[in-house]
């Protein structure tokens, strides 16, 4: 990708918004000031304070009702969270030339720096974000292709990826218990390819006209998000009105993705969300717990039997095919091709 296309490469000098970043009126955020919701559960994972059964109950209930919740006392070191955020901000603030050098070391191109939707040249409208992603497990296989600048990148982001992945697996274990699946259900190829992604939304001259990301549901089992302290992440409330997810210091936002929605045969709900831009920079870091490409995704048999009527809501599909549809969906959010793909499966 040409580095000059990154929003961060040109947005400082621009005073007016380029036409191609203006979202059509139907989905444009507009001038309204959105409320910050207080309904999304904040779950304390500290086992000495909360009974294990309470944690299982709260996580399952939040995943059924909202598909999203926040966790505190999650065991990831707060200092490491701050350092990782600092390193990521430094990375996005580097010059385009330095970013090109540091972010493109992987000959297989699994480390990727891109802007908008990853399909920039085919989009009608662009989103106001830059993104950097790479695989993060097993660490020794991938870390050699990560940036060497900022100087601490590999060390800090490596530690962070390991800890956050562990947290993700712990939450999946709680979910499997709550769904009545056997211990260790979420293992092997289902969780084999976690991706670390950092989104950077540079300060925007008019956040009422742009979007950082359109409405979508993550193509993961779950996503663990560190959203920093700037408002941006939104989801529809029970009335269908957009509300902000509250930034809570050192909490992680946990999203249920489409893949878990399918495996649970609709018992858990993938959370739809979008990102609003801000007049100040916003950087976020997500870890997506993803299956490997050739994994066949389908509703778990025991969960089909537990449904009423006991029918699968989704047909089996290959994760790689799903990813392809997901990417084209984000590129052209009017066509909503992913929704079509999911409908076809029913």
- Kindly list the residues in this chain that would bind Fe ion in the complex (CB under 5 A): 218
Q: Which does 268 bind (CB under 5 to 8 A by kind): ligand AKG, Fe ion, none?
A: none
Binds ligand AKG by CB under 6 A, chosen from 125, 136, 191, 233: 233
- Give which of 74, 81, 68 is closest to 47, Cα–Cα: 74
Closer to ligand AKG by CB, 71 or 275: give it: 275
Task: Output the DSSP codes for 196-240.
Answer: EEEEEE---S-TTT--SEEEE--SSSEEEEE-TTS--EEEE-TTS
Task: Tell me how many helices (H) and strands (E) the chain has.
Answer: 10, 15
Closer to ligand AKG by CB, 193 or 284: give it: 284
Closer to ligand AKG by CB, 91 or 213: give it: 213
Binds ligand AKG by CB under 6 A, chosen from 102, 163, 177, 218: 218
Tokens standing for residue 115: 């802007």
- Give which of 213, 212, 198 is closest to 280, Cα–Cα: 212
CB of 307 to ligand AKG, least distance (A): 28
CA–CA distance, 213 with 86 (Å, rounded to integer)? 22
Q: What part of residues 270-309 is at the interface with ligand AKG (CB under 6 A)? A: 273, 275, 284, 286
Contact (CB, 8 A) for 294 and 341: no
CB of 220 to Fe ion, least distance (A): 9
Closer to Fe ion by CB, 163 or 218: give it: 218
CB of 196 to ligand AKG, least distance (A): 11
CB of 272 to ligand AKG, least distance (A): 10
Give the x/- contact pattern for ligand AKG in 101-130, rule: CB under 6 A.
------------------------------
Closer to ligand AKG by CB, 62 or 225: give it: 225
Closer to ligand AKG by CB, 234 or 265: give it: 234
Decide: is 197 part of the binding site for ligand AKG (CB under 6 A). Answer: yes
SS3 label, residue 44:
strand
Strand locations in the chain (E): 36-37, 42-44, 68-72, 112-115, 130-135, 195-201, 213-216, 222-226, 233-236, 242-245, 252-256, 273-275, 282-289, 296-297, 317-318
Decide: is 329 part of the binding site for ligand AKG (CB under 6 A). Answer: no
Closer to ligand AKG by CB, 268 or 275: give it: 275
Give the x/- contact pattern for ligand AKG in 14-43, rule: CB under 6 A.
------------------------------
Q: Which stretch binds ligand AKG (CB under 6 A): 21-29, 93-101, 135-143, 227-235?
A: 227-235
CA–CA distance, 277 with 208 (Å, rounded to integer)? 8
Q: What part of residues 134-153 is at the interface with ligand AKG (CB under 6 A)? A: none
CB of 285 to Fe ion, least distance (A): 12
CA–CA distance, 37 with 31 (Å, rounded to integer)? 18
Chain residues that interact with ligand AKG, rule: CB under 6 A:
197, 199, 213, 218, 225, 227, 232-233, 273, 275, 284, 286
């Amino acid at each position: 990708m040409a580095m000059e296309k990154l929003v961060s490469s040109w947005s400082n000098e621009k005073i007016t918004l380029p036409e191609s970043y203006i979202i059509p009126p139907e989905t444009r955020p507009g001038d309204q000031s959105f409320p910050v919701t207080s309904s999304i559960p904040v779950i304390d994972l500290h086992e000495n304070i909360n009974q294990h059964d309470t944690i299982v109950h709260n996580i399952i209930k939040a995943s059924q009702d909202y598909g999203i919740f926040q966790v505190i006392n999650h065991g990831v070191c707060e200092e490491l969270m701050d350092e990782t955020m600092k390193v990521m901000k430094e990375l996005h603030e580097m010059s385009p030339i330095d970013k090109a050098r540091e972010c493109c070391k992987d000959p297989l191109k699994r480390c990727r720096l891109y802007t908008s939707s990853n399909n920039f040249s085919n989009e009608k409208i662009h989103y106001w974000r830059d993104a950097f992603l790479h695989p993060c497990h097993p660490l020794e296989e991938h870390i050699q292709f990560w940036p060497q600048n900022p100087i601490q990148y590999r060390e800090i982001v490596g530690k962070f990826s390991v800890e956050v992945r562990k947290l993700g697996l712990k939450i999946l274990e709680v979910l499997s218990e709550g769904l009545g699946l056997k211990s260790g259900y979420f293992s092997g190829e289902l969780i084999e390819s976690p991706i670390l992604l950092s989104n950077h939304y540079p300060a925007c001259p008019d956040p009422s006209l742009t979007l950082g990301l359109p409405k979508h549901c993550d193509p993961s089992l779950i996503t663990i998000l560190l959203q920093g302290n700037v408002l941006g992440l939104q989801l529809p409330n029970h009335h269908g009105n957009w509300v902000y997810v509250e930034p809570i210091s050192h909490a992680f936002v946990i999203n249920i993705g489409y893949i878990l929605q399918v495996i649970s045969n609709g018992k858990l709900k993938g959370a739809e969300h979008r990102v609003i831009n801000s007049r100040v920079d916003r950087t976020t870091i997500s870890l997506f717990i993803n299956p490997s490409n050739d994994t066949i995704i389908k509703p778990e048999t025991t969960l089909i039997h537990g449904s009423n009527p006991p029918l699968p809501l989704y047909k089996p599909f290959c994760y790689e095919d799903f990813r392809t549809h997901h990417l084209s969906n984000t590129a052209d959010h009017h066509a909503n091709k992913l929704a079509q793909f999911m409908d076809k499966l029913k």
